[in-house]
Chain A
Amino acid sequence: MRNVVPLVIAFVAGVTMMLALFVPVLQPLQERASVWFIILAAIAFLIGGTNLLLHHARKIAQQEAGWGFSAVTLVSFFITVFVGLAKWGVPPSDAYPNHPWSGNYITEGAPLWWLYQYIIDPVTSTMFALLSFYVASAAYRAFRAKNTEAMILLGTAFIVLLGRCSAGTFLTSWVPESLEALTFPGATAVIMAVFTTAGQRAIMIGISLGVAAISLRIILGLDRSYLGADE
């Protein structure tokens, strides 16, 4: 039962979702299952939160290396969850002033908004901005590879970078209009319209075939990796 029931659930859910696209009577069932899917995904966040709590609580209890940072994580987590679930500092909505809980949890000025605005947004965007330094070193390493593929990759990147900024337009402004494709912006347009479109199209075709094959294997119970390592 432990191993068969999950396979039956996956099979029934998968086949029903597929059939609903062909049998209109099953359409409401598909819509309902899609909502259940969102609910379970939301519950998975609670599981994730619980895991985070247990992991860092264990590190603190055992005073492992860096347990102070675990304490910072847990304090940040608890404060965020508390102000968010309690809708602390959130005024009621204009339409329902007598319902204290009717306001949006992310209303401007509320503590949860403050945490997003002044912690999540700056830290995540700075972390992504850091990558601009690392892509430069990645490009340097690719240049050192000195093979045809690396040269094509970086040559294209160079043309597209110049083609999308005013310097590229300025540098090739002397090229006659009839040979526009030889300017940086023109070459960028050709690269985007022909080669990039073709490459992405081939990748998408490959991905879709891969997803379809894996989905079929899961529905038929041939792929059981999602059930855990012992399957």
Chain B
Amino acid sequence: MTRELMISWFLLIAGGIGLVVLSATSEKGVGTIYVKPVPAANQVQTWTETQRTDSAAVFSPYRTAGVWLAAFLTLAVFSYLYKDNVFYKLAESMIVGVSAGYYLVANFWDSIVALLMTELTPQLVRNWALPSLSETKTVDPWFLVPLVLSLFLFCRFVPRLSWLARWPLAFVVGTFAGLRLVSILDADFISQIRSTIVPLIVLTNGSFNVWASIRNLGLLLSVVTCLAYFFFSVPHQGLFGKVSRVGVWVLMITFGASFAFTVMGRITLLTRRFEFLFIDWLRLIDP
């Protein structure tokens, strides 16, 4: 047994013993979840999470198992900070399978049933899964087109017919290109230019506002210098080169601010994970 493996086993056993001792001695209950019944209009009983002190609280082994699994997976992902290992790979494999399945299910109910089947078989969908669907809803034969294109998509698994899978792809790409071509020019290109055309001499209540004027001038010059950097039809030499270099600095400031916000976002996520481990799971800190 290598020294590294010995340390790993020692940490695992020590952690396990610590959890057992904590579970046996903690009055708050390590990783335990309590639920209470929700008043329902129908006969099926549903539950929602509550505090242990709630008079209607009932211990939920189902959700407690979930918290323990989430804690295990959180620690498994954190273990990657040391190096790639079997626990991380296990968590990674699970998340790939579960998230692929989840998004498949979500797309099935939200798009295939709600958008396609409601148009082709409204009666069936009304009786089966969407009783709120209007009684007057009739079959729209135009929706046979996406159905046929969808079947063509699956042809990519049949080598002899794989060329048919290009048709729906061409439709998706063409539709998206057509929609975006005009909308992006309107929403981003024109509106961004329009927003940059600002007064360089700002008057507030009839008097000259120095700071606002400097800010607007800075904004205009910064946009122009950045655009100069993105303009590659002219060599970046001489005066133009100096202007584009200023543009690079403005872009670096932009990326620096984005970097700061990314760091803050990730640290917020990290604190949320620590809160989960120390409050929701181990109950070491009172929420």
Residues of A at the B interface (CB closer than 8 Å) are 2, 5-7, 9-18, 21, 30, 32-50, 52, 54, 66, 69-70, 72-81, 84-85, 91-92, 94-97, 99, 101-102, 105-109, 112, 114-133, 135, 139, 148-150, 152-158, 160-161, 164, 181, 190-209, 211-212, 214-216, 218-219, 226-228
Contacts and interface: CB of A to CB of B under 8 A. Distances in A.
A96 B40 contact: no
Contacts of B254: 195-196, 198-200, 203
B178 A219 contact: yes
8 contacts: A40-B153, A76-B96, A120-B102, A123-B95, A153-B255, A202-B251, A205-B230, A226-B173
Considering the complex of A and B, which 10 residue pairs feature the smallest CB-CB distances, nearest first?
A: A199-B254, A17-B178, A80-B101, A156-B256, A76-B97, A84-B105, A198-B222, A202-B226, A10-B174, A97-B42
Contacts of A164: 260, 264
Given A114-B62, A153-B259, A194 B111 contact: no
B41 A42 contact: no
| B: contact size bracket | 35 or more
A212 B178 contact: no
Given A191-B253, A227-B169, A161 B80 contact: no
Nearest to A142: B259
Contacts of A116: 102
A163 B121 CA distance: 57
Interface in B218-232: 218-219, 222-223, 226-227, 229-230
For the complex, would chain B's binding face be called helix, strand, loop or mixed by DSSP majority?
helix
A176 B95 CA distance: 52
Contacts of B41: 94, 97
A194 B101 contact: no
B53 interface: no
A39 B178 contact: no
B157 A43 contact: no
B98 A115 contact: yes
Nearest to B94: A76
B192 A91 contact: no
Given A156-B256, A199-B250, A201-B226, 19 more contacts: A2-B163, A7-B170, A13-B171, A34-B175, A46-B107, A46-B108, A73-B96, A102-B132, A114-B62, A115-B102, A122-B74, A126-B73, A129-B269, A153-B259, A156-B252, A160-B261, A206-B227, A212-B184, A228-B166
A199 B192 contact: no
Contacts of A79: 98, 101
Interface in B170-210: 170-185, 187-189, 192-193, 195-196
